[in-house]
Amino acid sequence: MGVNISRAGGTSPAPPPSGKADQIEARSHKISLFFSILALTLMLWGLAGGLAEGRFSMPGAPVTPMKELAGPPLTINYLWCMSSGIVLLGILPVLKVAMSAWKFVGARETASAAVALIVLMELAFSILVR
């Protein structure tokens, strides 16, 4: 992911990253990259399909409702693919915060791990309050 988790975030010098933390960091990077590529592939596949079918219009149909994406798809069409890609992209930052929390726990940086969990709770709250 190209991120540094213990450079200077605290008010006291952070402990050196452990080998376990490095492994988690590498795994987090791979997961982020996988989700990004999957989201882009779905979006591009759907866009190409929609253009090929001559469905393009401005601004065009809105996204497929979330409840239709959550269950097994009745039909996988261009709109379903693009909507799924957008949802995956939207989930990515939440996933990154969760992986940061995991890495902070692995590096035994309890204060930073607690902060990451608070941010996760705030994100969950922001979804629930609407």
Partner 1 sequence: MVVAGLFVMGAVAGVFGALMGIGGGIFLVPLLTFFFHLPIRAAVGTSLVAVIATSAGVAAFAPKGKGADVSLALRLEMATTAAAIAGGWLAGAFHPRALHILFGLVTLLTAGYMVYKTKSKREATAPESLFRSDYKPKHWPIGMTVSSIAGLLSGLLGVGGGFIKVPVMYAVMDVPLGVATATSNFMVGVTAAASVFVYYSRGDIHPFVAVPTAVGVFGGAMLGAFVLSSIRASWVRTVLIGLLFVIGAHMLIQGLHG
What residue ranges bind partner 1 (CB under 8 A)?
1-11, 14, 29, 32-33, 36, 39-40, 43-44, 46-47, 50-51, 55-63, 65-66, 79, 82-83, 85-87, 89-94, 96-97, 100, 104, 109, 112, 115-116, 118-119, 122-123, 125-127, 129-130
Token duo for residue 119: 């941010």
How many CA atoms within 13 Å lie on the side-chain side of 18? 10
Contact partners, residue 68, CB within 8 Å, separation at least 6: 74, 80
Q: Closest distance between partner 1 and the C-beta of residue 112, in Å?
A: 5
Q: Closest distance between partner 1 and the C-beta of residue 74, in Å?
A: 18
Q: Closest distance between partner 1 and the C-beta of residue 123, in Å?
A: 6
